[in-house]
Amino acid sequence: MNYARSIASEKTVFPADTSSPAPWLRAARDLSAMDETEAAFLAGAALQALDGLIRDDPDWSGVWRSRMALKAASTSSQLLGRPEEEAALRDAVCLTRPGSDPGPAGRTVLAWRRLARHTGMPDSALLNSAAEFFGLKSEQDFAEIAGHIGALMRAGKPGPFAAIETAEYIAMAHPTLSVSVELLGFWVADLVLAARLKWPRPVPLLVIQAQKPFFRSGPNRRRLRIGEAGWRRAVLIAYVQAALEAHDTAADIARRAERLKAIVPKLRAKGSARIVEALLQEDALLPSACVEAFPGQAMTDRALRRLFERLVSLEAVRELTGRATFRLYGL
């Protein structure tokens, strides 16, 4: 199979074949005056626009989900009191050997990547794994929680409201509402939202908005916690904003992906097509790691570095670190 020809001939799914959010969704609004009914209507409309993109499943959807997971990890780190930048979080994962512990920062990234790559409904093993990523070491009966989520799904509630009730149940199931418990609630909420909307995989959305002004209340502008008065309205507004921002991120990645695919016929190095495919799926690639990840591709570490440098010179990819060593490349 001619991989280079296959990649170069992939149809452009976005933006030509996917409807963008209606302009009125982006109109300026006084969010402080918005009631829950209006927020629910706008959330449904914004998620419907995102639905078309997700169902089209463009060939660059992997890197899009990875970038959304990185954004979610960055906000999660802020909530946990260790505000790592996206670059530091990327390093924590990309510079750790497979099978090694990437540390708290890396585990947060892996948690959201796990969500973005999951298919199907949650079971006790998945929930326990997510809890461990967020540093929760409890004796919770995740089988019972998974059963409750299944019952909630069968009740047929609209996606955003099913997500809200799931997060609230996660919070109530734990004796102490720590930030880690909240993160698990956000994580499972996005999973349930995707299942209700019949998306093939979830997209990290809710937690990315958790530091926004509409999640704050009172004279001291304290962040609303799960289940507090006003929290449901804030979640509905968050899904509006999150869907629009996710669409914008997708539009940017789509343009970068088309640029990359356009130069594929110019690449002569054996194995370059597999690297291009990986760039369309992963947030960032470390050349030395590609040697181990793609055995038998007949490319040395040095050859891979030359390939990435050529891709940068063609403005098809970016070097993401600004370093002279341990460089990472991505769209």
pLDDT tens by residue, 19-44: 578 887 887 787 777 889 999 999 99
Confidence label for 15 from pLDDT (cuts 50, 70 and 90): very low
Q: How many CB atoms lie within 10 A of CB 37?
A: 10
Model confidence pLDDT, tens digit, residues 145-158: 888 888 887 888 88
Alpha carbon distance 101, 105 (integer Å): 10
Q: How many CB atoms lie within 10 A of CB 301?
A: 13
Query: Tell me, what's the pLDDT at 137?
Result: 76
187: alpha, beta or left? (left if phi > 0; alpha if psi -120 to 50): alpha
Cis peptide before 102 (omega within 30 of 0): no
Backbone angles phi, psi at 101, to 5 degrees: -80, 120
Residue 282's alpha-carbon distances to 48, 172, 256, in angstroms, are 26, 36, 13
> Cα(first)–Cα(last) distance of the chain, in Å?
25
Q: Name the DSSP class of 100.
A: S
Q: Name the DSSP class of 329.
A: E
Query: Tell me, what's the pLDDT at 287?
Result: 85
In 3-state terms, what secondary structure has residue 216? strand
Query: Tell me, what's the pLDDT at 291?
Result: 62
b vs e for 64-88, b when ≥16 Cβ sit within 10 Å of the residue's Cβ?
Answer: bbbbbbbbbbbbbbebbeeebebee
Alpha carbon distance 277, 254 (integer Å): 14
CB 236 within 8 A of CB 160: yes
Alpha carbon distance 110, 104 (integer Å): 10
More confident residue, 17 or 277: 277
Q: How many CB atoms lie within 10 A of CB 283?
A: 25
CB 114 within 8 A of CB 203: no
Model confidence pLDDT, tens digit, residues 208-266: 999 999 999 888 888 999 999 999 999 999 999 999 999 999 999 999 999 999 988 88
CB 21 within 8 A of CB 46: yes
Confidence label for 4 from pLDDT (cuts 50, 70 and 90): very low
Q: Which residues contact 290 (CB under 8 A, 6 or more apart)?
A: 275, 278, 299, 304
pLDDT at 275 over 90: no
Residue 158's alpha-carbon distances to 148, 187, 236, 299, in angstroms, are 16, 18, 12, 50
Angle between helices 36-56 and 231-262 (to 10 degrees): 20
More confident residue, 129 or 300: 129
More confident residue, 106 or 175: 106
Query: Tell me, what's the pLDDT at 180?
Result: 94
Alpha carbon distance 33, 2 (integer Å): 57
Number of H helices, E strands in the chain: 13, 4
Rg (CA), the chain: 21
Percent of the residues in the chain that have a pLDDT greater than 70, as a whole number: 91
Q: Which residues contact 318 (CB under 8 A, 6 or more apart)?
A: 312, 329, 330, 331
Least confident range of 39-53, 232-246, 266-280: 266-280
